[in-house]
A and B are shown apart, each in its own frame.
Chain A
Amino acid sequence: MELWLSQLFAGLGVAAVLLLIALGLTFTFGQMNVINMAHGEFIMAGAYTPYLLQGVLGAGLAGLAFGVALPVAFLVTGLLGLVLERTLIRRLYGRPLDTLLVTWGISLMLQQLARDLFGAPNVQVVAPAWLRGALDVGPVSLSYARLFTIALVTLIVVAVGIYLTRLAHGRRMRAVMQNRQLAGCSGIDTDRVDQLTFFVGSGLAGVAGVALTLLGPIGPGIGTGYIVDAFLVVIVGGLGQLRGAVIAAVGLGLLNSFLEYGTTASLAKVGVFAVIVVFLQFRPQGLVALRTRALT
């Protein structure tokens, strides 16, 4: 029982990070059909933000630096995304596979840039004092860092949900996703919506990066490890569907965690992949699919 609970908690921790990354992809991939492989490097940029801020503010203010890093990372990676969208991705709308290839090229360059700027070895971000230690619930020990990540992700999911359904900006975004031409005809400036979507999606990658610093040391290649899994979350959840992404992230996170316990970490990855291929036999469009009569 205790084992189950701690495994469940570990799975939720993995799920929270996956979800945070997949949320960003829900915007760029789901809403705009852009496969941004550089999303992983945006995560990396976000992860280096608290590291740099802690360097500037000094060790005494490590906690403050961490807190400030959350919005700063959002802005920094959001702007990175905006620049990428304006310079390259704008030329490739309607060619999703090409966006994948181009952004992979960008991701290579960003990784090397990070290696040149920060050095190849991993660095450790100092966790704020209030996130060290763990909460003991009976026999199970819940680390504050994981709890914080789960709470942060919950908050962001709720915020994104409200944004997409209640606010004018978010509604426009969904309108453009569902029918670009019609949205344009109704007076929505689709070009500006695209920019904003990309800004928000990339910004979320930055926040995910800051959250990752709580889980361990960070390095130039930190994003690549997560990005493949996060894309799987989007595929399983359904393109551009917040609800689907949440269910898929929790499902895959838990599946991975329990398979890892039952077998080994490497077999668990293969197991998750097999489950996904079988799952796609039944729901090739993902858990939550937007119904459409259009043929591709």
Chain B
Amino acid sequence: MTGGGAAEQRRHPRLRQGAVVAATLAVVVVLPLVVSQFRLALLSKYLVFAVVAIGLNLAWGYGGMLSLGHGVFFGLGAYCTGMYLKLAEAGSGLPDFMSWSGVSSLPAIWAPFRHAWFALPAAVLVPMGVAALLGASVFRRRVRGAYFALLTQALAAAFAILLVGQQGLTGGTNGLTNFSTVFGLEPGNPRTTQILFFAAAAAAAVAFLVVRQIVQSRFGRLLVAVRDGEDRVRFLGYDATRVKVVAFALSAGLAGLAGALFVPIVGIISPADVGVVPSIEMVVWVAIGGRATLAGPVIGALLVSYANTALSEWYPDGWLYLQGALFVVAVVWAPRGLAGLADRFRHLAWRPGSRRRAEVAVGAASP
């Protein structure tokens, strides 16, 4: 399940975990002190992406449901928060873009988003609901694998087109932006950036722990079993559909949470952040980091996003070549990503006997 790392964890589990937790905490506390505000905001964005990757890994890595539409769930969360921020700024008036597109009264769907207690839970619950609805209807009819992937991709395409088309309701191509207040904080203020950074780090930590807990639970084993042999699980009397729907909805909820954080951190949400291409980029993070590993998606999201920024600053056109090439290499030659490579090297160096076990996991992880 988690590859051969288990053997080593058994030897000093507490010690190793404690060291990792301490190191992570130290980094999180020290970073805001040493990096510039601009870099800190970027780091917060990468952490938000890591939350998406952790969630997507639950659906794809452990559940075998490749979603090419996670941008939709990310976007739903982001737009829920964006609507709240826009209304908080407008006070009793209309958000600025609505007056530009000739909308005279607040659309009914916007009204409840005036309240934070509605908007913030909605940012997680709406994506979960949409995912559960889609999952329940297609998994029940055993639409899976490539069909499911292509269907979710079509959803992402339709969602982005819808957002662009409904100018007066969604801000169209420009999306929602120009927030003058972020939950009572002043955007652009160094203090705000720090608070948002801690929020993003906390979200990533919570997402990581939740998914770890799920994967190690009975439900997690069932999920992996469904991935590797759905029919067999069904023959044993389990409701495979329910397992998949729950995992998919949780995964979507995490994407929604990430979206909700993305808006205050980056200051904009637009259709360009949620369509087909961003959705596949989310898959890239998981694939390069290592699907069906706990740490892989986090590392993948952080490294790939960092490389994106660094290369775009240095040589913008090169990024697409590199991203494409990285992806090809990762999927063809390292199907378990960076985490898989690390595992393999560790076994080669220390325990040559368990190399075979790692390879069994590779086979199982590629549905």
Interface residues of A (CB under 8 A from B): 29, 33, 35, 88, 91-92, 95-98, 100-102, 104-109, 111-112, 115-116, 224, 228-229, 231-232, 235, 264-267, 269-270, 272-273, 276-277, 280-281, 284, 295-296
- Which A residues touch B320, using CB under 8 A? 108-109, 111-112
Distance between Cα atoms of A109 and B320 in the complex (Å): 6
- Do residues B317 and A270 form an inter-chain contact, with CB atoms below 8 A? no
Determine which residue in B137, B150, B280, B335 has the highest number of CB atoms from chain A within 10 A of its CB, and name it.
B150
- Which B residues touch A91, using CB under 8 A? 332
- How distant is A44 from chain B, measured CB to nearest CB, in Å? 14
Distance between Cα atoms of A69 and B164 in the complex (Å): 35
- Which A residues touch B161, using CB under 8 A? 265-266, 269-270
- Do residues B324 and A269 form an inter-chain contact, with CB atoms below 8 A? no
| B165: interface (CB < 8 Å) | yes
Distance between Cα atoms of A104 and B324 in the complex (Å): 7
- Do residues A231 and B150 form an inter-chain contact, with CB atoms below 8 A? yes
- Do residues A102 and B331 form an inter-chain contact, with CB atoms below 8 A? yes
24 pairs, CB–CB < 8 Å, chain A vs chain B: A35-B150, A91-B332, A92-B331, A101-B327, A105-B327, A109-B324, A111-B320, A228-B153, A228-B276, A231-B153, A264-B165, A266-B161, A266-B162, A266-B164, A267-B162, A269-B157, A269-B161, A270-B161, A272-B158, A273-B154, A273-B155, A280-B138, A281-B141, A284-B142
- Do residues B331 and A105 form an inter-chain contact, with CB atoms below 8 A? yes
- How distant is B358 from chain A, measured CB to nearest CB, in Å? 18
- Do residues A269 and B327 form an inter-chain contact, with CB atoms below 8 A? no
Which of A102, A273, A296 is B231 in contact with, Cβ under 8 Å? Answer: A296
- Do residues B158 and A270 form an inter-chain contact, with CB atoms below 8 A? yes
- Do residues B317 and A224 form an inter-chain contact, with CB atoms below 8 A? no
Interface residues of B (CB under 8 A from A): 66, 68, 134, 137-138, 140-147, 149-151, 153-155, 157-159, 161-162, 164-166, 230-231, 276, 280, 283-284, 287, 317, 320-321, 323-328, 331-332, 335, 366-367
Determine which residue in B138, B146, B320 has the highest number of CB atoms from chain A within 10 A of its CB, and name it.
B146
Closest to A120 in B: B317
- Which A residues touch B66, using CB under 8 A? 97, 100
- Do residues A232 and B149 form an inter-chain contact, with CB atoms below 8 A? no
- Which B residues touch A269, using CB under 8 A? 157-158, 161-162
- Do residues B151 and A105 form an inter-chain contact, with CB atoms below 8 A? no
Given contacts A35-B150, A116-B317, A228-B153, contact A88 B332 (CB under 8 A): yes
Distance between Cα atoms of A267 and B166 in the complex (Å): 9
Told that A105-B325, A116-B317 touch, could you supply 15 new A-B pairs with CB distance under 8 A? A29-B146, A98-B332, A102-B332, A104-B327, A105-B331, A111-B320, A231-B154, A235-B150, A267-B165, A270-B158, A270-B161, A270-B162, A272-B158, A273-B155, A281-B140
Closest to A97 in B: B66
- Which B residues touch A231, using CB under 8 A? 150, 153-154
- Do residues B323 and A100 form an inter-chain contact, with CB atoms below 8 A? no
- Which B residues touch A280, using CB under 8 A? 137-138, 141, 143, 151
- Which B residues touch A111, using CB under 8 A? 320
Distance between Cα atoms of A92 and B146 in the complex (Å): 14
- Do residues B323 and A281 form an inter-chain contact, with CB atoms below 8 A? no
Which of B143, B284, B325 is A284 in contact with, Cβ under 8 Å? Answer: B143
Distance between Cα atoms of A29 and B153 in the complex (Å): 16
- How distant is A83 from chain B, measured CB to nearest CB, in Å? 14
Closest to B318 in A: A112
Closest to B60 in A: A97
- Which A residues touch B143, using CB under 8 A? 280, 284
Determine which residue in B158, B230, B321, B367 has the highest number of CB atoms from chain A within 10 A of its CB, and name it.
B158
Closest to A116 in B: B317
Determine which residue in A102, A108, A109, A231 has the highest number of CB atoms from chain B within 10 A of its CB, and name it.
A108
Closest to A38 in B: B324
- Which B residues touch A276, using CB under 8 A? 151, 154
- How distant is B127 from chain A, measured CB to nearest CB, in Å? 16
- How distant is B130 from chain A, measured CB to nearest CB, in Å? 12
Which of A97, A107, A267, A295 is B145 in contact with, Cβ under 8 Å? Answer: A97
- Which B residues touch A102, using CB under 8 A? 327-328, 331-332
- Do residues B280 and A104 form an inter-chain contact, with CB atoms below 8 A? yes
- Do residues B134 and A277 form an inter-chain contact, with CB atoms below 8 A? yes
Distance between Cα atoms of A277 and B146 in the complex (Å): 15
A-B interface, 9 closest residue pairs, ranked by CB to CB distance from nearest: A266-B165, A105-B327, A108-B324, A109-B324, A284-B141, A112-B320, A105-B324, A105-B328, A269-B158
- Which A residues touch B325, using CB under 8 A? 105, 109
- Do residues A112 and B327 form an inter-chain contact, with CB atoms below 8 A? no
Given contacts A235-B147, A270-B162, A280-B141, contact A98 B335 (CB under 8 A): yes
Given contacts A228-B157, A269-B157, contact A108 B162 (CB under 8 A): no
Distance between Cα atoms of A53 and B141 in the complex (Å): 48
